[in-house]
Each structure stands twice: as structure tokens, then as C-alpha cells.
Structure 1
Amino acid sequence: MSPHRPEAATGWTGELERELRRSMPPGALLGLVLEAGDRVLELQLLRVPAAVRGHGHAARVLTRICAAADARNLTVACTPTDEFGADRARLENFFRRHGFVPVATGGRLSDHPWERPPAPRPTPATVTVPHQEPRP
């Protein structure tokens, strides 16, 4: 578990964290902390070692996190930082590629300055049947 979460996470976010940890190569995920509310899923920590950055591990994890949030109609919120040796500008570009945008203080759903709204839910497909003339 992450040093930021001494106890095991519970609920669907705990299950998701465990699923994602199991899906990673050994040592490729140093930290993952998620917290969910009624309207927002907070990505409090997503940390991969510098040696495996750029291999798509974080992108795969973030894509799965966003899919889980979309399924629950939740906004995902995060705070890109330069902690742990990350390049903040590169990290912000990473989040932009996943649909995150900076949000002004008054419009935020959490304390995090970046948010990704839930993807629109697909509408039921309309089945169209080609018109056929009745046979005589």
C-alpha cells in the first residue's frame, strides 16, 4: 500500500486500487490513492517510478480510473504537481490528453484545481429498418 494510505482502501475505490495494482508490472506503481464522493472521484496520488515513466503505465491506470468514474457519472479531480521528481508541465499535458482541464476556484467540485467531467452516456441506439414496398 501507499505510504499515504496506511489502511486498506474499502468500497469500489478500494477494489479499483487493488485491481490496478495487480495489473501493473512489479515495482511500476509506487502510489495510488483514490477517494470518491457523490459527484467526484479524487485522484489524490498516482505515482510511477522515474525509471518506468513514458512506458504507458500511468496512462493505462488513468484511462481505467476515468472509465470507472464515467460508469458512475463522476467527475475526476486531481492536482498535477512536481512532487516526486515529476515535470509539472509534462504532467499537465498528460492530464490534458486524458480530458482534464484547469478549473477556477469557484467552479471546482473539490480542492483539486484540475477536473475531467464524466463522458456523456451513450443514448440508446435507434434501429432503422429500410422501407420496403409490400409485395403484390
Structure 2
Amino acid sequence: MQEVLEQASGAVTFSAAQKRLGMTRSQMEALIRAGILKPGEGGEKGRPRFTEATIQHWLAYFTSFPPSPNWVSRIGIAEAAQKYGASTDRVMGLILDRSLTQVYSLSGVAGFSAIVIDKSEVGRLLTKP
């Protein structure tokens, strides 16, 4: 079944992927430009399309972290990017390369918004000279 999903290039439109992953258009575009989120073939009007396997991979990744403890110092990726003047892909890169060690997922939250990180840890990494 996984092999069939992998071969179904371009099965999910950009807007459907955006909704399913819980991202804004600018977040999706930033992750695509950075090579983090990889679309399949282009769709109509040049909009990228995604495989079902890609969508499933990222949905699983977003909830793969341990449940978030109930502490005050957590922050979402989008909020961290805005607070520290960084791009979404820069914050996501810190998670992917494991520079951020305190990464959690919120239970009951789907997609991109499920990931929360420690506010002070991300602040230290993004404000380094």
C-alpha cells in the first residue's frame, strides 16, 4: 500500500495539503523553498501538488513528539518565528536537525500546530550573534 501511495505523485492539491497539514500558504511556501516540504509534480496553474505519502509522513511527524508537559514556557513554531524575527523554515530546521531538544506535541491538535517548543531554548538559538 505504501508503494502505491508513493507512486501517486500529485494526488493532493496545494490547498488541500495546506488544510490537512494545518499551515498557512506562506508557511507552506517557506518550507517548500527551503526543501523541507517536497511536492510531487506541479499541478494546474503551476501550483505544486503532493503525494498522499508526503501528507501522511508530515502528519505523523507532527504528532511523533512526546506529549507536552503543562508548563508556561511553550510556544508554537509560527509564534516563535514571529517573536524572534525568524522564518518558519529556520525554526523547523532547528527541530529537524535536533538543535531544539525540548520539542513536544499537543494532544488533540492536528497538523503543524501540534508541535510546541520551549520558548527560552528557541529564543537562545535564534538570538545567537
Query: Is the TM-score greater than 0.5?
Result: no
The answer to which structure has the higher strand fraction is 1
TM-score normalised by structure 2 residue count? 0.27
For CA contacts below 8 A with separation 6 or more, give which structure has more relative contact order: 2
Normalised to the residue count of structure 1, the TM-score between the two structures is 0.26
Structure 1 or 2: more helix by fraction: 2
